[in-house]
Structure 1
Amino acid sequence: MLNQLIVALLSSGALAGLIFLLRRVTKVQVWDERWHACFVTANQGWFWRRVAWVTQPKLMVGWCFLLAVVQWSTRGWLGALGVLAGLGGANVIGIIIKHTLKRPRPVQHLAHDDGYSFPSGHVLGTTVMTVMLWQLYGPAWWLAGSLLLWWGLVAYSRLTLRAHYPSDVVGAVLLALSWLSWLKWLIQLLGWF
């Protein structure tokens, strides 16, 4: 339980620090644009668009409900509730941050990638689902490798499709880790599992 609290505090602090830097230090935007240029390629082909489509936030909610049904059948309603709270809570916090910061997307992003940039909703949902799947079904090496590969493809797709800056991806990961750690700490504190 102490480990969860430590991870929650560290990731929350890092996320708060990143948000502070994005709002107050203009050189961070310059750095972000330079790093972003390293990831952007002329090839925005079907593969990267499919990766982004499968992990779009609306579809990720469907994947989450599917996982919740599996959890309901194997671990009961608390397992299903934990899965739904994991993605649902992260999405709500992500939307609040997006509409508070109002960070514009990178130049030349795809037309259907509307809205604000920070944090990446695709990466947030994928990170939450990856961590939850690992916690529920790990620690097999093949599962870890598959989840890490999938996460990497999603993160890279958001950069190469010009939808997000690198800090948007980092912020999404920090938010996911922070929220899931706080949630797991609370669940353990209440003795639900």
Structure 2
Amino acid sequence: MKRFKNSIYVGLPIFLIFAVSIVLHASWVEQFDSFFQGLVRSVSGLQNLMLKITVLAAPKLDLVWMLLIAVILWLKKRRPLAISLVVTLVSADAVGFIVKHIVQRARPVQHLAIDDGFSFPSGHTLGMGIIVIWIIMVMLPRVMENKTHRIWIDTLLIIWLIIVMCSRIYVFAHYPSDVCGSVALALTWVGAVELIIYPILNRYWRLDYK
């Protein structure tokens, strides 16, 4: 259980720093966004590719990935994991919606018409962040004993999450601080939900979290 506590210790302060700084219009956030937006956009000609990536990470499609993973886990008699994933992603989407309407940050002026609503946090990044971090922190340690294989899968998943983050910046759907804050929120939420849901699930299934 220590890793879940550590995820909160790391994720929550970072998320709060971004959220509060955005609300207060801190100058460092503008500099942060300007630098990383320029860095991501330094490679031209990727608009169509980035749009396809952002579709794969859309919140509605995240629910499809969630259900697919949950059904497989349920059929494999890994029902606590299936319940954990569903609860984590659905509740995170709700929290993300609430935070959006508290912070009320406008999107970059260049954003596409399809991207409406508030900018912080990024729903695409939050949803994919939840799935990626949950797989790395919750599922793989319980279903895969080979640590080398886990490291390779963890690395690929992290690279995919970074690509999703970059795609949202590239198409001007979000600022860099939006996607970074979203990952911090996802890290926090995965840890928090596991700490809350563990004693409940442990009443019905013998769990072996450490």
**TM above 0.5, one fold?**
yes
Which residue matches 1:28?
Answer: 28
- Decide whether the 8 Å contact of 1:108 with 1:162 is kept in 2: yes
Alignment of 1:37-52 (within 5 A): 37-40=38-41, 42-52=44-54
Q: TM-score, normalised by structure 2?
A: 0.83
Q: Distance in 2 between matches of 1:67 and 1:181?
A: 19
Matches within 5 A, 1:54-69: 54-69=56-71
Is the 1:22–1:28 Cα contact (8 Å) retained in structure 2? no
Q: Aligned residue for 2:94?
A: 92
Report the CA distance shift for 1:6/1:148 in structure 2 as closer, same or farther (over 3 A).
closer
Q: What's 2:73 paired with?
A: 71
CA distance in 2, matches of 1:152, 1:27: 25
5+ long unaligned stretches in structure 1:
none
User: What percent identity do the matched residue pairs reach?
Assistant: 28
Q: Which one is further off, 91-100 or 10-19?
A: 10-19
Q: Using the alignment, how far apart are the partners of 1:77 and 1:191 within structure 2?
A: 10
Residue number in structure 2 paired with 1:136: 139
Native 8 Å contact 2:21 2:29 kept in 1: no
2:195 paired residue number = 185
Once the two structures are TM-superposed, the CA of residue 180 in structure 1 deviates from its matched residue by 0.3
CA distance in 2, matches of 1:7, 1:147: 17
- Compared with structure 1, are the counterparts of its residues 54 and 3 closer, same or farther at alpha carbon in structure 2 (3 Å cutoff)? closer
Post-superposition Cα deviations, 1:19-42, rounded to whole Å, max 9, x if no partner, equal: 111111431342144122332355
**In structure 1, distance between residues paired with 2:174 and 2:20:** 18
The residue aligned with 1:162 is 172
Partners in 1 of 2:152 and 2:4 — Cα distance? 25
Q: Residues 44 and 161 of structure 1 are in contact (CA less than 8 Å); yes or no, is this contact kept in structure 2?
A: no
- How far did residue 191 of structure 1 move? 5.8
The one-letter code sitting in structure 2 at the alignment partner of 1:40 is R
Give the alignment's Cα RMSD to 1 decimal: 1.9
Tell me if structure 2 keeps the 8 A contact 1:40–1:160: yes
Q: Is the 8 A contact 2:33 2:177 kept in 1?
A: no
Runs of 4 or more consecutive aligned structure 1 residues displaced over 4 Å after TM superposition: none
State the secondary structure of the residue aligned to 1:111.
Answer: coil
* Superposed displacement of residue 65, structure 1: 0.8
1:9 maps to 9
Cα deviation digits, residues 62-116 of structure 1 (max 9, x gap): 1111111011112344322111011111111111001111100112111111111
User: What is the CA distance between 1:129 and its match in structure 2?
Assistant: 0.9
3-state SS, counterpart of residue 117 of structure 2: coil
TM-score normalised according to structure 1 size: 0.90
